[in-house]
Structure 1
């Protein structure tokens, strides 16, 4: 099996594909011990090879970081950018004003058409001083943009503080974002940052059955990372895809 087979969807015509459905939102949560940026770059590489345009909203790491990582996968982000297949919104310059950040995303999406939109990471907006209510409203606006442009959305949040009583802002934002997500992917560490477990849950917003996960309980995969990206195995089988 190829690396892309870890998350595939059944189209209405019965074809199995790795392309995220249109008007589809994925919430990705990670921890300090199991960072999930490898999944963001994996989604980018997969979309560009389909080919599909990518709009990346960088709130945490710079364009250069992703360009370096994706170069190992044979993708030159600078070339993709020049060819108008990849757009990068530098959220670090606009995050002080959520309306300005929203407008930057809306403008970039207008010229991209149907695209894969990736946000890395929503937690940064809380850390920069915005309330969870304001960030949730901002996310709802982006989610509406994605729907109106027949695009797809992948959003990263950090999950270290979601289950602690002292961090109500993080928990509130997580619940609001989850309610609008079709799928929730959660990474946890097994023995190191290069080995972990990926749990895949149906999100509350999932209406159409794409044959992703069962209606009750998550699908669990184990992963290991190398320079070429992640490889996956079904939990309990011990054999990587």
Structure 2
């Protein structure tokens, strides 16, 4: 709580902290939090990952938090963020001075969850001494796309609307370059999920935080099919789990996985 109060006192903006104590079983704790978020019209909930370094991974607490996280994803009325922070250096840091940058990396593939991640990055970029890098993956499928005739009218219109929302938010991010020089973006052409993974391995850097959406659909290879190869796909999604593993930056970078409220197709 001291960390939150310190942030409130030094944020330089209208940030107020209201401590809230919830005494409830883990299996129903999400109900109280979700009800409170609805009453206060909260747009964003952040919860801790069950394998973070301060939690006994083999004990009953980790299992309880894992189940609680699943309940949050099923019932959260707003955007949910799961913070994975196993071995990062942020806990040992005494704060950033005026000459240091906080570097945020956003991995964007497309869809509502990634748009939530990018929207958060846009807000972060407005803060002094914060550098935000956007890595956008453009999927060039080898397989021919279905024509408008083959798709139902509703599906086609939804896909078109989704693409327009992606492009609009990316354009907004690019415009931040003219407000401050702390944003950069890169477009990476890939053909499937495997190439996305290879590209991510090549994008390791000195990030203080990485943000990615949970759910994606990359051509014929989607999260559900790829999740058979990893352990925490149910909670973090395929790419969130990969970014938080030791295979990326030795697992030393905290990862925030965002999940938009509602059902994604």
What's the TM-score bracket when you normalise by the shorter of the two chains?
Answer: 0.3 to 0.5
Under a length normalisation based on structure 1, what TM-score does the superposition of the two structures give? 0.36
* Greater relative contact order structure (CA < 8 Å, 6+ sep): 1
Which structure shows the bigger proportion of residues in strand conformation? Answer: 1
Larger radius of gyration: 2
